[in-house]
Structure 1
Amino acid sequence: METLLNDFSPGLFIMQAIILIILVVLLGKFAWKPIINSLDDREQGISEALAAAENAKLEMKKLEASNEAAAAEARAQRDTMLKEAREIKEKMIAEASTEAQEKADKIIAQAQETIEAEKKAALADIKTQVAELSVDIAEKVTRKELSEKDAQLALIDKMLTEANI
């Protein structure tokens, strides 16, 4: 330490102090200001990016809410459409059932009328045949003059058996 004190030179000390002050002023003017400005710019950019991220987050929440509302509306429309389709289906089935029942009733009525007409025609035909047979029998009976009752009965039985054949 003594050698340090012996080697101490006040002129050198002042010169080094002046160089240090000049160096600090030059660094302050040319280096620190740009460094501080770039740090400020970077800090401002980061805060703007954080604000933009917050805005994007809020916008995403709004979009999610609107998407959920749109999905709910779409579900409601789907439910309404399904309900209308079911009602139309039930209406068509009811109409088809009613129409089929009406057609069946009409066909049954026509069949009954046809059966009744054929029945009447058959009865009329049977009556005509019975009348013809009766007339034939009466004609044959009256043509023959029989004095005996037994002979008349035998003749009637014979004619009946011939008519049944």
Structure 2
Amino acid sequence: MRTYQVDTVEKEEIKLVGFSITESLNNVLETKIVRTLREDLTNRMIEIENRKGPGVFLIQIYPHDGQWTPHVPFQHVVAFEVTSYGEIPTGMITHTVSPGQFIKIIHKGAESQIGTTYDFINKTYGVRPIDIEYWNDIHTLENQNGEIDIYIPTK
């Protein structure tokens, strides 16, 4: 049985600039669209004003009726954090994550194995309206010793 490092943390507002799509999990896995958006984003990172660093965020916003399944479309935001919004590059959007208390779970291992971590999260905390992944280095996502920070709101 896998064990997880779990902490409760306070997060300040997160301002993001990047791409947004609405797709089901099944379509995302089949088409690898989030991977494509992540690559496009990093190729255009120089266009993003006031970027905080090299890490990339994935914000997943689920339907508010709680009826989420892998077939139900939901919003995915792939973006860089910025200190403030400047001129937004063509085809990109802004998104703001409200401040608050979050449960932080660290997924250890390849990104392709992250489903087991989400199984743990959903069994332990239930399906939440939003979750946040933070990829410190997208080039190491398939490394067996890689880490992905996952944040879910406490309420």
- TM-score, structure 1 as length reference: 0.13
Structure (1/2) with the larger strand percentage: 2
Q: Which is helix-richer, 1 or 2? A: 1
Higher Cα Rg: structure 1 or 2? 1
Where relative contact order (Cα < 8 A, 6+ residues apart) is larger, the structure is 2
